[in-house]
Structure 1
Amino acid sequence: MASAPLPLAAIPIAFGTDGWRGILGVDITMERLLPVAAAAAQELAHSAPTSLTSREVIIGYDRRFLAPELAQAICSAVRGCGLTPLLCDTPTPTPASSWAVVQRQALGALVITASHNPPEWLGLKIKGPFGGSVEGDFTGRVETRLAAGGLTVPIPGEVGQFDAMGAYVAGLQAKVDTAALAEGLDRLGLTVIVDPMHGSAAGVLPALLGEGATNSGAISEIRGRRDPLFGGNPPEPLAAYLGELIGAVQASTAAGRPAMGIVFDGDGDRIAAVDERGRFCSTQLLMPLFIDHLARARQLPGSVIKTVSGSDLMQLVAEDLGRQVLEKPVGFKYIAAEMLSSEVLVGGEESGGVGFGMHLPERDAPFAALLLIEALVEGGVPLGERIDALQQRCGGAAAYDRLDLRLANMEARRRLEAKLAEAPPSAVAGCPVLEVVTTDGVKLRLGPSHWLMLRFSGTEPLLRLYCEAPTVARVNEVLIWARELAEAV
């Protein structure tokens, strides 16, 4: 996959839907990163609850180029704020840093990662003392501190380290009976093939299920070695980047042992799956399964939180089980805020982020993977059959896809934004628009499980086109129509 041309100048420092990200060596440099880390650390200390006495800030990082070195460097910025940096001793999934914050009662975490972005990107995520992403008000105050200047001088020195991965694995094993999951997979004759996309969640799921599961063939892993280029593609759980996983699942099933694939993004906070037939299953299909399993089998309390780009099937399954559904803008921080203020069963977004009220107010892909396996073991049928049964029961059978368009320049973006705001389309690909929703971007409702949404990315110079429709052919037709609309502006 060819990368886009590098920009000639850095873009202003600004936080998107989850952190500050940019191109390494252009936007993300040592000169820019240290003040951002200092401002974030100062705000963590300033905003901490009065009951929190810790001065500790967890420092995490992923497997990207220079991520370990930059994580080490920002420790000096944190120390310069009079705080104590504590560095993860290996690259770890971002939710492992969030877990460490809660378990150690730290002020928060600073994580060097660009999550699912292309290989040339890097960035910084900020986690609050509650173990989740900070809200927009918090990052706004960080930006204010940066603009004011006068930040502290970094203080080099030895940095304390700890086994974040070991603590995280032990914590998840205490929440889910992983031995029973391994036995259940053997009983079903089902193999789980894990694809961490060369990212920092490599090895986590095999470690959770144990050596016995690996030896029995219940679990295996591909693309687990570190590769900062991620095989030439963004480490994002999309079907276009999962040819090896889909092939491995189909080969195992054809050989007589049904398989499913589980994929994590570059920093382990997003999940997707591949069913036994080789069908890609995003969280548009997995979220309804989580809702059904947690509400029906586990009988856990709470409402369901979905983003505006989420499948209608999420709402149909939740309503079938008598659960309230709340719809939020895109960005897990909106889901996390709801999880902190009310009782939530599960919250998720179409891009792969899922959080659970029984766990952290945070996207946690390895934990989601455990619950996915638990749902299949409990139901006794493979993933594809389970999803098909849910769709038939709730009447939400539909296809979904997303198309990302890189815009020519910011002026093209401004023109398109203005056009959509002033006069949204009254029809889409021959179908009249029944409702226009502007919670986040522009969502054009065409019918039950039939809609188009246009939204500009919060972290990349992209226009995202989302579509759910009764058939794959109709999804493709609508996305082509939307692309032509965008390119004509």
Structure 2
Amino acid sequence: MVTPSHNPPADGGFKYNPPHGGPADTDATGWIANRANELLENGLRGVKRIPLNDALKADGTGKFDFLSSYVDDLPSVLDLDAIRTAGVRIGADPMGGASVDYWGEIGERHQLDLTVVNPTVDPQWAFMTLDWDEKIRMDCSSPSAMASLIKRMSDSASAGTGAFDVATGNDADADRHGIVTPDGGLMNPNHYLAVAIDYLYRNRTGWNPESVVGKTLVSSSIIDRVAAGLGRKLVEVPVGFKWFVPGLLSGEGAFGGEESAGASFNKRDGSVWTTDKDGILLALLASEITAVTGKSPSQLYKGLTDQFGAPVYARIDAAATREQKAKLGKLSAADVTATTLAGEDITAKLTEAPGNGASIGGLKVVTENAWFAARPSGTEDVYKIYAESFKGADHLKQVQEEAKALVDGVIS
């Protein structure tokens, strides 16, 4: 697939998945990048070419109907009967990407009340509203990029017409999801993950009863509390969906989700559906949740916060030289001498993910009601601070300030 994913159109490139179907590891992508640069530097000498017609007639060339294979198998992973019976009205925005034709076929083949709100395909994505930095970016978790769909949902709710019960967006390669509800607008990805996990582990009776919940270490800790409430083991891994592949394949980890609006889960019988993020799947799940529970995902999230507390989550950037970023990526827990964070005792200092022992390429510090994680940027002279507090926005700000001071003190 050639796609800019959730990035500006000019950042388009090839998306490669290895034979296991999950995201490629850095070993593979690094080799591909090095080889591609080598070929470019040599004027593409050594790159073999063949006319398209000859390629199509070659013995090794075949055709496969990916669309039908995907759309027709959806009932194995989702309760589409419930969606259809409840008459859930769905508005789907493919954001000009790979899912454009899929959404129309999903609605038609499964007889759902589904409207493709924007079927436009434009390589410049000129129809997009600008993101926060005035760039075109197909980020379905961004209120700016999703402004058109949010406004359409809001206007219909205000007018009492209620055009859709659930509206969804996907980025250009459809591996991310955005969920818009009449009562809550665009949901924070962490909030929706918590709702999805709570719903699935309560309703997927065909899953392994010992199946764990998978999350990345910078995802919200409300997921930890939801997993505990379900009596399920939580497996926290470094950033990157590749870490969920073994569990999804075996059924031992039936759900894996990232804070960046990427997730997937197993079929209703517990077998593997996919080993990569599936934005269409998570978008349709919001309609199943609405159909089965009679409540929107945002209403269900409110119920979770009543039970587990309401976290406040944010990410900020802090300046750092290349040398400081390199040092941050190689920290050990022993390098951190602090014992408190924002008025609470530190309960964990992590440089390896507790779920699999893999290096997190940075630092995570945890207290009873808050945490922060610091990771170096791979493209800019900054490091990223992810932070969350269950004690409100003022406490979160204190966590962020102390996190920056702590990290600066260690890497300076």
- Whether TM-score is above 0.5 comes out as yes
Change (3 A) 1:487 1:279: farther
2:353 paired with 1:447: no
Q: How many residues align?
A: 370
Which of 144, 149, 154 matches 1:250?
Answer: 154
Which of 304, 310, 315 matches 2:224?
Answer: 315
2:198 paired with 1:296: no
Which amino acid letter does the alignment assign opposite residue 325 of structure 2?
R
Note the C-alpha offset of 1:369.
Answer: 1.6
- Give 1:82-231 correspondences, 5 Å limit: 113-136=3-26, 138-139=28-29, 153-158=47-52, 159-160=55-56, 162-173=64-75, 175-178=77-80, 180-186=82-88, 191-210=89-108, 219-222=115-118, 224-229=120-125, 230-231=128-129
Change (3 A) 1:121 1:146: closer
Distance 2:167 2:338 in 1: 39
1:75 — aligned with what? Answer: none
* Secondary structure of 2:9 counterpart: coil
Note the C-alpha offset of 1:409.
Answer: 5.9
Task: Give TM-score, length-normalised by structure 2.
Answer: 0.75
* Secondary structure of 1:131 counterpart: coil
Which of 212, 216, 235 matches 2:138?
Answer: 235
Note the C-alpha offset of 1:321.
Answer: 1.9
2:305 — aligned with what? Answer: 391
Change (3 A) 1:417 1:130: closer
| Gap runs ≥5 in structure 1 | 1-59, 62-112
Note the C-alpha offset of 1:238.
Answer: 2.3
Which of 378, 403, 427 matches 2:292?
Answer: 378
Distance 2:242 2:68 in 1: 26
Which of 449, 465, 488 matches 2:385?
Answer: 465
Change (3 A) 1:118 1:430: farther
Q: Deviations over 1:329-356 (max 9, x none)?
A: 1000011133235522211111111121
Which amino acid letter does the alignment assign opposite residue 50 of structure 2?
P
Note the C-alpha offset of 1:475.
Answer: 3.5
* Secondary structure of 1:193 counterpart: strand
| Gap runs ≥5 in structure 2 | 57-62, 130-134, 268-272, 353-359
Which of 262, 272, 288 matches 2:168?
Answer: 262
Aligned 8 A contact 1:353 1:364 in 2:
yes
* Secondary structure of 1:246 counterpart: helix
Distance 1:410 1:349 in 2: 27
Change (3 A) 1:473 1:298: same
Task: Give TM-score, length-normalised by structure 1.
Answer: 0.65
Which amino acid letter does the alignment assign opposite residue 386 of structure 2?
Y
1:324 — aligned with what? Answer: 233
Note the C-alpha offset of 1:444.
Answer: 1.9
Note the C-alpha offset of 1:479.
Answer: 4.2
Change (3 A) 1:296 1:416: closer
Q: Deviations over 1:434-464 (max 9, x none)?
A: 422223221121323x211112345776633
Change (3 A) 1:267 1:409: farther
2:376 paired with 1:456: yes
Which amino acid letter does the alignment assign opposite residue 121 of structure 1?
D
Distance 1:404 1:224 in 2: 35
Distance 2:398 2:115 in 1: 38
CA RMSD between the two structures? 3.7
Q: Deviations over 1:350-408 (max 9, x none)?
A: 11111212211111110122222112211011222111112323x14212233356x57
- Give 1:277-296 correspondences, 5 Å limit: 277-296=183-202
Distance 1:287 1:363 in 2: 13
2:59 — aligned with what? Answer: none
